[in-house]
Each structure stands twice: as structure tokens, then as C-alpha cells.
Amino acid sequence: MGTSRFKSWNLMGSLLVFLLSFQLLALVQFLQVEAQGSWEVVVENAGIASMHTAVTIYNNVVLLDRTDIGPSQLPLPDGECRNDPNDETSTHDCTAHSAIYDIASGTIRPLFIDTDTWCSSGQFDTDGTLVQTGGDNDGFTKIRTFAPCPGDGNCNWVETGTPLQNGRWYATNQRMPDGSQAIFGGRSCDTVEYVPSKGAPVYIPLIANTNDAQNDNLYPYVHLLPNNQLFIFANRDSILFDWNTNTAVANLPTIPGEPRNYPSAGSSVMLPLSGFNGWGGPEILLCGGATYGAFLNPAAALPASITCGRIAPLDAAPAWAMENMPMRRNMGDMLLLPDGNVLIVNGAGNGAQGWGNAQNPVQTPVLYNPNAAAGTRFQTLTATDIPRVYHSTANVLPDGRVLIAGSNTHQFYTLTGYLPTELRIEAFSPPYLSAGPRPTITDAPGALGYAQALTLTIAGGNPTAIELNLLSAPYSTHSFSQGQRLLQLETSIPVSAGGDLYTVTATAPPSSVIAPSSYYMLFAVSNGIPSTASWVHIG
């Protein structure tokens, strides 16, 4: 009897060990699938917290804060100081409020900015110059330019003599097919104007009508569609806009759920356009936001939105298809990755944008696969140790990593306490950077005309599964990357060129409606693994 009982317990023990081992193996496999990507702090102290960030054609990154925040942690060089009698905090300031980060060397060089760039907007011009507009206080109507240079250069900000016609604070810029920039909205501003000017600003009823007690119509989401119209979204509503006549041509359905723009702070992307389907079928994705009232009553710490909405605005009967993210999030940054997936990073689970309004930082990025079936599109990735909430940014780098900067939920630099001002800069390596050998573009052209044919030689990767994708360099601020777009070129079947080399023939985008003239990062993507990008001027 004792022997039988021992055998029984031994069998049960073996079974228990087997089940525990199986569960442990399953857990390890789950973690391997779900927890992917890696983080690295690339700058321990940038000296400024960047609320506006953009990547230039010289593989360096413009960092930009506001000027009326008081002294930063980054001195201006050679005893230089900014003397501004209009500054609300420091009329004599010998510290920088903009800088340039050189990716290769990891160095930070201070830049001089004259007037206040708080909650301003921007976009790269046709020649790769960053055009930056508006701000607060003495920056309200300013237009500034930054012509980038190599890491050892001395390029700096220039304030132009031509002001905006309407002051722009919390506005959105979009580069247009004719080479101009359209600037939409802003606090107490319901118009669009163009730089260079095309005449008087034009009233936009959508922006006016979507205002509420929280001003949830700020930083409207603007996307240039392949039919030469604009998709414009504010609060919960959107229109199709003919920029040639400056008129709304269609009202789109209201998205269910919460407000989605500043200060409720969701985010938005236009999903990749493809030459394989004639550049048609655009879709817009919006994710996150805040419960209405979160900005008006920050002490309540109301929960962020958990939903995403997806719409094909040019369909005969467009409608929002809703799905849930793995976790609630506002102030998230949505980025188109070189492989066509969408990264959602940064943000908080409660509250809204504004000084001290965020709680429960969301430090886990999420990957969204637009080509997967509904219900299977999200994948959680490796979490960062650094919270990134209000005034954070995210930008794709030419090497395929994602640069994460900023986070300041305080009115001034506050380096201690809850959610302190964040001066560290991180780089996130998405899972594709550890998925296998990367392809290499060996002979990319420096420029491409519209509809021009090109042949590229590519080393490594899988020649049976290759994409050539053009990714713009947007202006990242306040949870929206202005001017972001990904274009998949129509390519031929690869042809062997001997060894691990093969050639791919492709066709450039057909017009400035699909690819507004500027510089783009050209990635070769093999089985979802991107090369390092080559900069190519389109147009």
C-alpha cells in the first residue's frame, strides 16, 4: 500500500514537474514573442528637453524646446547670450533652447533660437530646409528656417523677415504638392494660410466647430491623400478638403469615443501607400485620446482611451472600424516604421496633456500590423525604464532605430520629483533589427524624378521578398508627426547579379501629390528586415 502510494505520488510529482516545465516553456516562448526590441540611452544629458524633433539629411537631429522656460542645462558657446526684453521668464539668457544631435558621434551642439517656439509647428521644405512656424509670446507670428549641415558644420536658426498673417500656437503644417506649406489652426485661430503666402488666410469651419471647453481642436491631424485632397481631423470630426479651392468637399463620420486632439492627445498616421495598387486606397489610423474632462479636472486622473479607429476616407461610404489597443494610452507617438508597421510609443494611461496633468506613464511600446486581421494586429514590445509623457517626441532614424527624446510635464525645468524633466535621449531598436542579417543598398541614386525608373543593387537579404520603401522625415511634436508618409515603390522581380548581390528595378512615385518634393529615406526591406536608408531627393 505504501509502495503504491509512493508510486502514485511520484507519478503525480513527475506530472506536476512536467506541467510546470511546460508552463515555464510557454511563458518563455510568450515573452520571446511579446517582449521584443531593445532600448539604449544614447545621450545621458542633452541639456534641453526636446518638445519638437526632426531628422535631417545629414543624419543629425534637430532638438527644439521653448525659450521662455528659463535657463536650460546647455550653455550657449563662446559666452553668447540671448537678450530678449519680451521673454516672460529670463530676458538675459546664456543657455540654449535648441540643439543638434549628431547620430554618428553622439555629440550635442547648441543652437541659437531668438523667439519663443513653445508649441509651434514645422515641416521640411523641398530643399531639405526645416521651416518652423509660430509659437507663443514674441514667436506667435514668426517664421524660422534651419538649413542643415554636416556634423562638423556651424548651421543655425535664421528668423525670416516675413511674418505669418495669423499667429499660430498649436498649429499643424503640411507640405503641399506645389512646394508650399499649409498651416492649419492653432489656439484661437480657425484658418489655413500658406508659406509662401497665397493671399489672406481662409476660414475652416471644421476647426471652429470642433472647439470645446478644453480646446480639443488643437494640432489638427492633416494628411495629404493621393487624390490631391487633404484629410483634416479635429476633436472627433473630419473632412475632405480641396486645398486648391480651400473648401470642404465632404464631411466624414464622427469617430466613436473620446476627443483625439490636443489636449486629449491621441495620435494619427496615414497607412502606407503602395505603387502596386496605383497609389490608391488610402487609410487613416487614429489611436488613443483622453476622456472628456481630463484636462479640465486633472485631479480626477480620468482614464485614457483604449481604442483605435481606422477609416478609408475616399470610399463611397467611409466608416470608422474600431479596435482596442493592449492598454490605454494618450500622448502616444505613432510612427510608420520602414517595414510598413506602426509603432505606438510614449504616453500615459490617465489624465491629459498640460502641466502636471499626466499620470500612470505607459512605458511599453506597441506594434500595429495594418495587414493583419482585425483582432490580431497588436503586439507588445519591450518596455523602457524612462517615462515619456507631455512634450515627448519620437522619430525614425536612417539606421532603422527610433529616437525618443523629451518629456516635461512641468512649466519650467524640474529635475526632481514625480515625472521630472527628462534630458536623456534614447534609441529604441524595433524587433526587425535583431531578426537576421540586414540587406544593404550598394548604389542608391541621390535624386529621382517623378515616375523615373531606377535599378538598385542590393547585397544580402532574401531576393524573393524585397520591398523598396520611401519614408519622409516628419516634424514630431505633441503626439503627431507632421508630414509623415511611407511610400512602397512598385518593383520588379529581383535578378541575380552574382554572389549575394541582386538587382531590383523600381519606379519612383508618379507626382508631387504622392510624394511632395523633398528628401526621403529609401529603405530596402527584405522579409521585414530593413537596410540602413539612403537619402534620396524626390521631385
pLDDT (0 to 100) of residue 43: 98
As given in the structure block, the three cell numbers for residue 279 are 497609389
Cell of 342: 506602426
- Is 244 found in the same domain as 144? no
Same domain for 358 and 303, yes or no, is yes
Say if residue 85 is in the same domain as residue 160. Answer: yes
Is 410 among the domain residues? no
Give the span between the Cα atoms of 55 and 286, in whole angstroms. Answer: 23
Q: Does residue 198 sit in the same domain as residue 281?
A: no
Contact between 406 and 51 under an 8 Å Cβ cutoff? The reply is yes
Is the domain of 282 the same as that of 162?
A: no
Q: CA 50 to CA 322: how far, in whole Å?
A: 32
Q: Answer yes or no: do 237 and 198 share one domain.
A: no
pLDDT value, residue 13: 40
Answer yes or no: are the C-beta atoms of 459 and 500 closer than 8 Å.
yes
- Which of 390, 406, 424 marks a domain boundary? 390
pLDDT of res. 35: 52
- What single-letter DSSP state applies at residue 461? S
| Torsion (CA) 40, 45, 47, 50 in degrees, nearest 10 | 20
Residue 128 domain flag: yes
- Burial class of residue 25, CB neighbours in 10 A (0-12, 13-18, 19+): exposed
What string of H, E and C letters represents the secondary structure of 325-388?
CCCCCECCEEEECCCCCEEEECCEEEECCCCCCEEEECCCCEEECCCCCCCCCEEECCCCCCCC
> What pLDDT is recorded for position 230?
98
- pTM value is 0.92
Indicate if the alpha-carbon torsion angle 351, 355, 360, 364 is positive or negative: positive
Same domain, residue pair 196 and 225: no
Which pLDDT belongs to residue 317? 97
Residue in the structure block whose three cell numbers are 472628456:
292
Indicate which CATH number applies to the domain containing 341: 2.130.10.80
Residues 233 and 195 in one domain: no
Which residues have a Cβ under 8 Å from the Cβ of 127 and sit 6 or more positions away?
147, 518
Cα–Cα distances (Å) from 515 to 132, 193, 275, 399, 511, in that order, read 20, 21, 12, 22, 6
Name, in order, each residue with C-beta under 8 angstroms of 96's C-beta and a sequence gap of 6 or more.
47, 48, 72, 74, 75, 76, 110, 111, 112, 113
pLDDT reported for residue 29: 34
Domain co-membership, 254 together with 348: yes
**Which amino acid, residue 207?**
I
In 3-state terms, what secondary structure has residue 24? helix
Residues 6+ apart with CB under 8 A from 164: 133, 134, 140, 141, 142, 143, 183, 193, 195
Write out the H or E segment, with its range, that includes residue 425: strand 425-429
Last residue of a domain, one of 390, 424, 450: 390
**Has residue 413 been placed in a domain?**
no
pLDDT value of residue 16? 34
Residue 378's beta-bridge partner residues? 368
376 and 252 belong to one structural domain: yes
Around 491, how many Cα atoms within 13 Å sit in the side-chain half-sphere?
Answer: 25
Q: How many domains does the chain have?
A: 3
- Expressed as residue numbers, the domain containing 445 is 440-538
Q: Does some domain include residue 263?
A: yes
The three-state secondary structure class of 282 is coil
Residue among 243, 227, 276 at smallest CA distance from 487: 276
| One domain for residues 75 and 141 | yes
Residue 420 lies in a domain: no
The single residue listed with the C-alpha cell 525645468 is 413
**C-alpha–C-alpha distance, residues 313 and 248, integer Å:** 13
Chunked into runs of 10 residues, the chain (539 residues) has average pLDDT values of 34 35 34 70 98 98 96 96 93 97 97 97 98 97 98 95 96 98 97 97 98 97 98 98 98 98 97 97 98 96 98 98 98 98 98 96 98 97 98 98 97 95 98 96 96 96 91 98 98 92 96 98 97 98
Based on the fold, state whether residues 46 and 76 are members of the same structural domain. Answer: yes
